Structures are given as C-alpha cells and as structure tokens.
Amino acid sequence: MIRTTKPYQFLSAVLCLSLLGIAVSPATAADPPSPAAPLMRLIKSGRVPQERLGNLIELVCQRGNAADLSYLFQQAVLSDKYPRDLRIKTLNLLTTTAHNRKILPAGNLTGLANLIVPETPKTTDAGLQLAAIHLAGACRAKSLAKPLENIVLDSKSPLKTREAAINALVAVDPDSAKHAIDPLIAPGQSLPIRSMGVAALVGLDAEAAASAAADVLASADETQVPATLLDAFLSHKGGPDQLAAAIAGKTLAADVAKVALRHMYSVGRTDAALVSALSSSAGLSANPETLSPEQVKRLAAEVLAEGDTQRGEAVFRRADVSCMKCHSVSKAGGQVGPDLSAVGSSSPVEYLINSIMQPNQAIKEAYLTRVVVTDAGKVHQGIVVDRNDQRLILKDATSRQIEIPITDIDEEFEGESLMPQGLTKFLTHAEIVDLVRFLAELGKAGPLAVRKTPTIQRWRVLRQLPESITAETSDADLLREETLALGKDAWVSVYAKVAGGLPIADASKAAPAPLVYLRAEVDVTIGGEVGFEINSPLPIQAAVDDQPLKADGRFIIELAPGRHVLDLFIDTSTSSEGDVQAELFRVKGSPAEFEVVGGQ
C-alpha cells in the first residue's frame, strides 16, 4: 500500500538527507522533468543508507514519472543491486503504482521473465517470483504471457503461485488465459485447482464460470471450503445472482451448501439470491428469525440462568462461527470489529443478543460499510480506512485492506453490517445461550477479567515443517535457519483463550505434524532485562531470537529496543492435550519497556 505524501513531507525527506551529509546534486539536461527528480538523484548517488532507501523508493513511486520507475525497476530486477527484501518491496510498490496512478516503468518488462521462470527450479525465490507475477499483471505485459502460462500449467508449482499467475494472465492475454483455464476446470482436477480455474474465468465469461462452478460444487464434499471460487463471484458485479441461477439446476450435498453459506457469512456477505439457493440445498431457512423485544427479554433471562462461559468460549473460538475473524479479545484476533475484552462489563445482555441475532438493527457509525463497484465490474465491501483524491482504502470482514483507485470507482453506496444475519443458523439454541453468557462475562471480575499480566495471546504456527525436520531429529537452530526465508503466508495465527492458555490441540490442528513450531512477538521500546515464564505439559524447546532458553519455567534475558521473536517447538508425537502459556514480567530494577504483539 502506498501512503499519500504531502508536498512538505516530500521536501522534508530531501532536506533531512541533505542534513545527513548526502548531497542532492542538480538536475542534468538528460533527466526528463519529474517531481521526484531530487529524490532520484539521491537514490542514484549510492550514498543513501540502505535502511532509508525503501522510504525514498516509496516516495518516488508516489510522485515519479515513467523514467523514474524504469530506473527502480532495473535495480529491482538485477540481483546484485538491491538486497532481496528491498527488491520485493520495490516490485510491489511498482505494482501498486501501476494500479493507482496508471503509470508504468518506461521500456519493456522482459527482465521479469527470469524472476517468473528462473533457469533452474533451485534458483526460484518464491517471494520475488510472486512480486514479479503481480507486476506483470498490473502492467499487462503481453510479452510475459508465455512464462505466466508455463507457471499456470506446471503442476509442481505451489497453488498460490499458480493462482497469481492465472490472474496475471487474465489481465495480460485473455485468449491465452482461456486456453490455460480449460485443463484447470476439468473434472479430474482437485477442488483447489478447479476452484482456481473457475475464479479466473469469472472475469472473462461469468456465465460459463457459473456453470462450471455449479459442476464443481455438485461434485465437492464438505472437507474443503471452496473459498477461492465463491470469493470470485462475490467480488464480481452480478456474480452472486449468476452463481445462484446455476446452482438452482444442480443437486448439492447439504453439507457442501452449509460450508459455502458459512464462508459467505464469514466474509460479511448475505446476497439474497445466493443465500436462498444455498439454504435450499442445505435444508435451512434463508431468512433468519427476527426476535421481538419480549423474546429478547426471555432469552436474556435464560442466558443468565443457564448459560455456561466455558462452553460459550469454545463456541466463540470455533472456526466455522468466525467470531475471531472480525473481533479480538485481549488484542488478539480480527481487527475489523471492536475488541471484546470488556464488552460484558459495558453492554446489557439484551444488547449482546441483538448484536448477534440482528446485527443490522443498530450499527455504530464507526462500523458502517461502503460497497464500491469498479468500472471493471469488481465489487468490494468494507469499512473505510482512508480516502484521498487518489485512492480509497477499505478493510473487509477478514481484516484485509483493499486499495481502490478513485478513477476506477463506478458507483459507491452504504452497505450493511459486516457481521451478517444468518451466522446463528448453524448454532443450536443451547450454543447461542452459552455464547451470549461468555460475552456477557467478558471484562467482569473473575476468570474472564481483562488481563493485566502481559501474556502471549496471538501465536503463529508454521503450516508445514521442512522435509529435513522430524520430531525425532528436531533441531531448533536448524529449523529457524530453514524458515528464515519463508513469508508470512507460511504461518497461520492461533489464539490463546482469555485466561492465556493456548490449547496445543488447536496448534496441532492448524499444522498437523509431530513437531509444532510456534512463534510470538514482543516489541521493546526501552532496552533492558525482560522476564519470561513458560508453562507446558509437553516437552518443548524455546528460544528468544537466536538464543536458546530453558524450556520450561522462568528466565530473564536482556533485550535491546526493537521487535523480538519467541519460538517454541512442541513435541506432540505422544499427545496434544493441555495448554501452553507464556507470560512476560518486569524485572526489578530493569528500565525495560515492552509490549506483546497482538492482532490477527
């Protein structure tokens, strides 16, 4: 995402670098006129500290011309010019610039071919490859159609890479994309591959895509969520209605329809025709029950008399209910809806019932959504994060930020709550009672009070261990070394319960392997000694950054200002029962100031 920079900020950047002793040379006759000319001269001087270079590149992408972007492109493509992370950042910034400002690097982009399809598989850098694919699509570089098609049809390439490649190919060469899509949607392919192909087809031929999607759903089972397929129709103007019409002529398994409905609700969508079609297949009512004030009052009394907080927390944490996609507790979880840590101490039970059962009845202004339709037929819904004369930024129900160029907006209107009506149709009456009781006790004195002890609430678990690592031959140092180059997509978030314990079974389910690799983060603003206390019922190895620690119990470590990582390696080969918990404590006499990193 490119942040808009005011003119005074732009000039300040130049002035600050000048004060650091980095000369800003005058323009030469060979330099094409550019608002970013002073910054380009700084970058070309080679005297800018590497840690500041990324900020300058971002400023140039906001204000520079095609020649400026071409220079940055060449530096990012040549492996000996910029370090890997800066190359990826530069390519991503150029992609955003192409989308938002409609300005492309001057000249051809054939240099991307070596990043998209390296000479040998061993030289493939997944991060650079993805960034190059995205830029090729944003620039509609037709010369790169063949390398993109090769990636799409390569069954050995990761699914995420193939998905990015087919989306880029749709933009670059629609005819080649259609040719590549045909084998992807064939009946013999797996559900993820068929879903990927159908999703790409939506933008080319929505009617044909709807027919293919209905075939995919009719042959699917409930073990996999066809999220990619559904999202493509939900984000296409008229897509939900077209998919609903195609489904009407097919027989879907009830559980498949329920899985599809849950996904719709989890991303904040209640498109009437599609909800009706899926509900019919699932054997559910399309219209959720509307409660009268008297019914709400009776349910509130039942909540206080019969509700169980432990069972309610289990419902709240269930993936299919999706509460933690939008909401956080103790600062861990979704970042769309409000943090619920103290909701019980400030909200009557009746209010909580209405918020769950009838979310559109009263929406707070801060959580009103906007629906935006682009001139390309894309539909986006979310809460407005920021808007200026160049772009609008929305945050959707999954906390993903969507950046939309103002010039691309065809229509815009107010939407409904991102917490859709209908989620509770998958819960029993008893589960609703328990869920409301759990929420009603959050923040009150007792086991669900707001925690005062700094506790790791958000962990990340490595989805898949490297092949060289097993529980029997596990080596924490080797594992950390082998995962250094992995991006954030290699990890999935798991959350501790309100009391601070992370069920090891939850982590093991997210990454099924005998050895579970957990990671947490701590921000230190003032350096000094920081105390850790880790408790686990199973054997573990632990480290802060690259320093091994005593695996269980209390220990103290000196931490400098900055972000630090706590790694835990849990052997679940014999059991996954119990909770692991990590707390931080202040050391007497230490000036250290720190905060546990939460979020999603």
514: which DSSP letter? S
307 and 405 in a single domain? The answer is: no
Strand partners of residue 579: 503
Q: Whole-angstrom Cα distance, residue 555 to residue 531?
A: 6
Q: Whole-angstrom Cα distance, residue 297 to residue 302?
A: 9
Last residue of a domain, one of 227, 244, 271: 227
Burial of residue 421, with CB atoms counted within 10 A of its CB: 0-12 exposed, 13-18 middle, 19 or more buried: buried
455: which DSSP letter? B
81 and 177 in a single domain? The answer is: yes
547 and 406 in a single domain? The answer is: no
pLDDT computed for residue 20 by the predictor: 41
405 and 499 in a single domain? The answer is: no
599: which DSSP letter? B
Q: Whole-angstrom Cα distance, residue 126 to residue 488?
A: 12
Assess if residue 39 is contained within a domain.
yes
Q: Are 61 and 1 within 8 A, CB to CB?
A: no
The arithmetic mean of pLDDT across residues 94-118, rounded, is 91
Assess if residue 310 is contained within a domain.
yes
394 and 309 in a single domain? The answer is: no
User: How far lies 311's CA from each of 435, 439, 558, in Å?
Assistant: 7, 11, 40
Residue 584's CATH number: 2.60.120
Binning pLDDT at 50, 70 and 90, where does residue 463 land?
confident
195 and 306 in a single domain? The answer is: no
Assess if residue 62 is contained within a domain.
yes
Residues 35-65: tens digit of each pLDDT: 889 999 999 988 888 888 999 999 999 999 9
| Longest pairwise C-alpha distance within the chain | 82
Residues 354-381: tens digit of each pLDDT: 888 887 776 677 778 889 999 989 999 9
- Pick the more confident residue, 17 or 389: 389
User: How many CA atoms does the CB half-sphere of 353 hold within 13 Å?
Assistant: 24
Tokens 């520079």, residue located: 64
Residue 271 has pLDDT above 50, yes or no: yes
Amino acid identity of residue 36, one-letter, is A
Domain that holds residue 496: 458-596
- pTM (two decimals): 0.81
508 and 463 in a single domain? The answer is: yes
80 and 198 in a single domain? The answer is: yes
Binning pLDDT at 50, 70 and 90, where does residue 477 land?
low
Residue 221 has pLDDT above 90, yes or no: no
Which residues does 547 contact at the CB level (< 8 Å), separation at least 6? 557
Residue 291: strand, helix, or coil = coil
The arithmetic mean of pLDDT across residues 408-417, rounded, is 88
432 and 379 in a single domain? The answer is: no
Assess if residue 264 is contained within a domain.
no
410 and 429 in a single domain? The answer is: no
Assess if residue 555 is contained within a domain.
yes
Residue 560 has pLDDT above 90, yes or no: yes
Closest CA to 306 of 261, 349, 246: 349
557 and 429 in a single domain? The answer is: no
Alpha carbon of residue 247 to chain centroid? 29
Residues 2-46: tens digit of each pLDDT: 444 444 444 444 444 443 444 444 444 455 688 889 999 999 988
Binning pLDDT at 50, 70 and 90, where does residue 551 land?
low
Domains held by the chain: number: 4
Residues 137-148: tens digit of each pLDDT: 999 999 999 999
pLDDT above 70: percentage of residues in the chain: 90
Q: Whole-angstrom Cα distance, residue 103 to residue 95?
A: 10
Where does 368-414 show beta strands of DSSP type E?
370-374, 379-387, 391-395, 401-405, 409-414
Which residues does 32 contact at the CB level (< 8 Å), separation at least 6? 65, 67
Tokens 């890479």, residue located: 161
Alpha carbon of residue 568 to chain centroid? 23
Residues 137-191: tens digit of each pLDDT: 999 999 999 999 999 999 988 899 999 999 999 999 999 999 999 999 999 999 9
127 and 156 in a single domain? The answer is: yes
Q: Whole-angstrom Cα distance, residue 152 to residue 142?
A: 15
Q: Are 280 and 262 within 8 A, CB to CB?
A: no
Residue 531: strand, helix, or coil = strand
Last residue of a domain, one of 195, 211, 227: 227
Strand partners of residue 420: none
Residue 164's CATH number: 1.25.10.10
Q: Whole-angstrom Cα distance, residue 85 to residue 75?
A: 13
User: How far lies 155's CA from each of 158, 159, 189, 228, 527, in Å?
Assistant: 8, 9, 11, 18, 49
454: which DSSP letter? -
